[in-house]
A = this chain, B = another copy of it.
Amino acid sequence: MSTNAKAKEVVPLCSKFQWAFTLLGRPWTGMIVRALLSGPKRSKEILESIPSISSRVLHQRLSELEDAGIVQRTIYQEKPVRVEYGLTEMGRTLGPAMDEIQKWADRWCNE
């Protein structure tokens, strides 16, 4: 090492990683993404597949994810209008990360 290194160099956490976890690390976000990885869903379906999430927070998270470019909201002009939430390319590429978390959960969650 040529530099005059002192006791301990503090390596700051990667700011892109921070950005990612600021998005994903809020209540319900991971579960919403996970639910949408199997295909677009109506808000009512998401509410049913994630037992204890509330309508208020679901819609809040969905619009944050939409702003971030992870989720796309589509309105189908049918007889009763139908609204679906699906993942964008950006959202779908979270698949491998979610799969790793699933693997970890399967290994360590005892219940």
- Which positions in A face B, CB cutoff 8 Å? 8, 10-21, 24-31, 34-35, 38, 45, 48-51, 69, 90, 93-94, 96-109, 111
List 10 A–B pairs whose Cβ atoms lie within 8 Å, in order of A's numbering.
A11-B38, A11-B49, A14-B34, A17-B30, A24-B101, A25-B25, A25-B28, A94-B104, A96-B100, A97-B104
Nearest neighbor of A108 in chain B, beta-carbon distance: B90
Q: How many copies of this chain does one complex carry?
A: 2
Given contact pairs A17-B101, A19-B105, enumerate 19 new A-B contacts (beta carbons under 8 Å): A10-B45, A10-B48, A13-B49, A13-B51, A14-B102, A17-B30, A17-B34, A20-B30, A20-B102, A20-B104, A20-B105, A24-B101, A25-B28, A25-B30, A26-B26, A93-B108, A96-B100, A97-B101, A100-B100
Bound: A26/B26 CA distance, A: 5
